[in-house]
Structure 1
Amino acid sequence: MNTIIIILTGILGAALTFYVSKHLKQGPVRASALLSLIVGLFFYTFPELLNIYLTQNIPIVFIGTSFVGMVSSKAKGNIIQIALAGLLFSIIYMNKSELFIGYGGALGALALISFLTTLGFSIMFSKKIDFKKVISSFRKKRE
């Protein structure tokens, strides 16, 4: 159950930040700060509402995925891609090892990794790349 709640938090964090930023015209910084403040204050005010794991991790995941939702409109992101990047962020966050301990900017780095991965797969599948053609062109260049 904890896993599902963390994943839903990631999806909502990214999608809500993107929505407030773009559709409500609040800008990415204001949208991220406002929503993160609301979530953080809620769990600070009601720390025993959920179990300790969720109380500690929901605000962190929400803040991290709000970084995903801060994506520029020039990056060609849409709400579906942003939600998928939030999902990916949550999965990476739950399965992270000690790699990010002590690393400044870990949430931002995870947000970047999540968004770029999602954007890369989106581009790769939308253009329907002919991988056989790409591989054969690489082979010709090597010869």
Structure 2
Amino acid sequence: MDRSVVTQKIIEAKVRNGMKWSDIAKAIGESKEWVTAGCLGQMTFTKVQAEAAGKLFDLTDEEMAWLQIVPYKGSLPTAVPTDPLIYRWYEIVSVYGTTIKELIHEEFGDGIMSAIDFSMDIQREPDPKGDRVQVVLSGKYLSYKTY
């Protein structure tokens, strides 16, 4: 067994039981964004979180243990994503990446935005021309050090 088997079992249970990520997140006690990433194999659960997931998805002790192991991050099967929604993110970074980099460096200096000390919020934004997807990413600024 490996983490991908647990991820597949979670997805199957979610579909079979008609669950929503927001409801799963409430049961686990974290944001829907973090819990979704965790259930998809990208985050490390605590014992308490793994046990909550275990109850929701009828996981074995071994499967709950896999949720607590630091995963290999990065879940895309190809270098350039083929899923249309994920590809749009790739496109956004391709088109606006240098702009984002330039503006962060201008505001903060030479450094990076953390994806570890990080939060994300995804919401529906009603719009008369068609609803919009609002995504807020917040990462701690980390300055490069001289040595």
TM-score bracket relative to the smaller structure = under 0.3
* Greater strand fraction, Structure 1 or Structure 2: 2
Where relative contact order (Cα < 8 A, 6+ residues apart) is larger, the structure is: 1
- The two structures have a TM-score, normalised by structure 2, of 0.24
- The two structures have a TM-score, normalised by structure 1, of 0.24
